[in-house]
């Protein structure tokens, strides 16, 4: 069973909505900036920040959901006619037959950071009365928000598998539809900047002082970004693009490092091809997970070369957006839709000289313009949680 993706949109530092994201990809303009976020001044790093969130106010009826994460989710839903498309989906299938599947890694944890900061400053013993864990920090707060905005009243599901979260929502929706729990679904993901993420990745020595340079010889780590994105899916072919297959695997190797030979990554990609009934020759482009860390980029290159040999164009788009963690899968699905519909193969932005150990055919120098029939997009998370999507037109 294929899934028709009838509408897709996103909001990130590289652009709010599809046209803005396309313009950034075409112009080679990164969304990353070197500046602090909140109290992160001790860190010297680039971030992918969505400045529009500072002035965004949720509608009165959604005020209880107010936090940075849900403001970003609402901002993304307002783009490209997505809310109207989702409400039309609900009208056609009935609210109880439309499921909601949203990926996130830290959800609205920044709201909890703010609550604790206020409590400590006041030398109090209790969190402030405005703090609402259930509708802001809880992983299920964004799915509830999406369900309330769109009118979907079917199963409402949060997926939190680190950086593969919002790729796995497509697989979860596919299984729910296949099992008869729903007829169609709204899928997506959202993750926002917060101190927990910035200092947490810094403690793992994965934050770079330099801008994200995927696969570069001198890469030193990741730049963290924030993003949200959404899509509507139902059985069939067509729409913006078609989900033809997905693959999931677990490295079962290390809590934060990938298997050095990319064994889990290979299984994930091979599984997606097998489900789609395709061979490696049927894929025209791979959107790499490509975080810019030494371990990830090399392991993924080994997996790609083992499956596709060395002749398939591939690149990471994290030089534009930063690593948006639990939102990376849906954001890069939105990038894949632009690749398929505009024949644009994005360059590996900020990569100056390819690591000599990386043998994959990473696109360097400038974008390529070619006809693209199918894209494979990778999302690999901590703990070796891997997901690959095959999408075509």
pLDDT digits (tens, 9 = 90+) for 281-290: 999 999 999 9
CATH top class, domain 3-384: alpha beta
For this structure, is 314 an active site residue? no
pLDDT digits (tens, 9 = 90+) for 42-89: 899 999 999 999 999 999 999 999 999 999 999 999 999 999 999 999
d(CA 298, CA 289): 11
**DSSP code per residue over 149-185:** HHT--S-EEEE--GGGHHHHHHHHHHHHHHHTS-SEE
| Given the residues 93, 157, 259, 289, the one annotated as active site | 289
- Phi/psi at 101 (nearest 5 deg)? -135, 110
Cα–Cα nearest to 72, from 142, 20, 5: 142
Structure tokens at 65: 């959901």
User: 169 and 161 in contact (C-beta within 8 Å)?
Assistant: no
Q: What is the pTM of this model?
A: 0.97
pLDDT digits (tens, 9 = 90+) for 138-171: 999 999 999 999 999 999 999 999 999 999 999 9
* 245 strand-pairing partners: 390
For this structure, is 163 an active site residue? yes
| Given the residues 67, 314, 323, 387, the one annotated as active site | 323
| pLDDT attached to residue 361 | 96
Cα–Cα nearest to 74, from 57, 50, 88: 57
| Given the residues 67, 163, 194, 314, the one annotated as active site | 163
For this structure, is 289 an active site residue? yes
pLDDT digits (tens, 9 = 90+) for 293-325: 999 999 999 999 999 986 899 999 999 999 999
d(CA 184, CA 177): 7
């Amino acid at each position: 069973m294929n899934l028709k993706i009838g509408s897709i949109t996103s909001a990130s530092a590289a652009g709010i909505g599809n046209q803005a994201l396309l313009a950034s990809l075409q112009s080679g303009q990164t969304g990353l900036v070197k500046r602090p976020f909140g109290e992160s001044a001790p860190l010297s790093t680039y971030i992918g920040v969505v400045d529009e969130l500072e002035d965004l106010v949720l509608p009165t009826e959604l005020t209880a959901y107010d936090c940075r994460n849900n403001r970003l989710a609402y901002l993304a839903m307002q783009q490209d006619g997505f809310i109207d498309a989702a409400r039309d989906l609900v009208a056609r299938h009935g609210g109880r037959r439309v499921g909601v599947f949203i990926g996130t890694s830290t959800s609205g944890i920044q709201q909890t950071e703010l609550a604790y900061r206020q409590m400590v400053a006041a030398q109090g013993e209790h969190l402030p009365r405005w703090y609402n864990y259930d509708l802001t920090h809880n992983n299920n707060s964004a799915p509830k928000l999406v369900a309330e905005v769109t009118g979907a009243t079917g199963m409402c599901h949060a997926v939190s598998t680190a950086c593969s979260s919002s790729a796995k929502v497509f697989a979860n929706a596919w299984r729910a539809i296949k099992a008869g729990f729903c007829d169609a679904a709204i899928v997506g993901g959202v993750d926002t900047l917060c101190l927990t993420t910035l200092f947490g990745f810094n403690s793992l020595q994965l934050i770079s002082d330099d801008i994200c340079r995927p696969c570069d010889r001198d890469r030193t780590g990741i730049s963290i970004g924030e993003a949200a994105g959404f899509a509507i899916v139902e059985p069939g072919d067509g729409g913006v693009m078609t989900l033809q297959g997905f693959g999931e695997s677990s490295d079962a190797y290390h809590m934060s490092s990938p298997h050095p030979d990319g064994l889990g990554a290979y299984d994930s990609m091979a599984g997606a091809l097998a489900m789609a009934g395709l061979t490696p020759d049927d894929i025209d482009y791979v959107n790499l997970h490509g975080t810019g860390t030494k371990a990830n980029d090399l392991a993924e290159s080994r997996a790609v070369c083992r499956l596709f040999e060395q002749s398939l164009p591939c690149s990471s788009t994290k030089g534009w957006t930063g690593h948006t963690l639990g939102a990376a899968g849906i954001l890069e699905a939105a990038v894949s839709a632009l690749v398929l519909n505009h024949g644009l193969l994005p360059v590996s932005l900020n990569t100056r000289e390819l690591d000599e150990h990386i043998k994959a055919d990473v696109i360097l120098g400038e974008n390529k313009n070619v006809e693209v029939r199918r894209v494979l997009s990778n999302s690999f998370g901590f703990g070796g949680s891997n997901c690959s999507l095959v999408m075509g037109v």
